[in-house]
Amino acid sequence: MAAERSPFLRNSYWVLRHGKSIPNEKGLIVSSLENGVLPEFGLGSEGLNQAKLAGELFSKATVEFRERYFGPTFELLSHEKYAEIWALDEKDPFMPPEGGESVANVASRLATAVANIEAEFEGCVILVVSHGDPLQILQTILNAAKKQETSQESDMSSRIKSIMVHSVLSQHRKFALETAELRQIK
């Protein structure tokens, strides 16, 4: 796998959505840390096979980013409720679901994590393993920051701050991933 990277990033990034989990199989939203670590909400048998295959395909550095918290209103409900969350996100990515995290909240914490990685490593291939929403938000902010090639902001943190606007953040669903999908951020 070629390690293409953007001129403003010191490393190249890949994202990998976790394998099919038991909540995926049951059609449940599980986003709280308390529920997410319970064995009954871990990977299903298909997800374990997907994880093994992904590990064989890509054995480089890994970073684990936690799930976006959708709040108690959505916790343990049908994944069909994601449509409601994403409609809210499109309308206002700065407004969190009640008690949860907004797209902007997640983008801010991911930007901090990437800034830390960029400060510590150079010339590495970084694999970010996480959940669907954080990975699509990460792709959104990095792609938008990359398009700022003519920006006067030279450092990555400043570029990301400059793209933290409604028109960018509300489009994060364009980067949706299937379970166990591996994708390079270009």
Q: Is the pTM higher than 0.85?
A: no
- pLDDT tens profile 118-152: 888 899 888 898 999 999 999 999 999 888 765 56
Encoding tokens for residue 144? 């938008």
Query: Residue 107: pLDDT above 90?
Result: yes
Please give the average per-residue pLDDT across 75-103, as a whole number. Answer: 96
pLDDT of residue 62: 47
60 confidence band (pLDDT: 50, 70, 90):
very low
Regarding the domain with residue range 12-185, which homologous superfamily does it belong to in the CATH classification? Phosphoglycerate mutase-like (3.40.50.1240)
19 class by beta-carbon count within 10 Å (0-12 exposed, 13-18 middle, 19+ buried): buried
Contact 144, 163 (CB under 8 A): yes
6 confidence band (pLDDT: 50, 70, 90):
low
**Mean per-residue pLDDT of the chain:** 87
Distance CA 74, CA 58 (A): 33
Which of 19-33, 44-58, 110-124 is predicted most confidently? 19-33
Higher-pLDDT residue of 156 and 135 is 135
Query: Residue 55: pLDDT above 80?
Result: no
Query: Residue 68: pLDDT above 70?
Result: yes
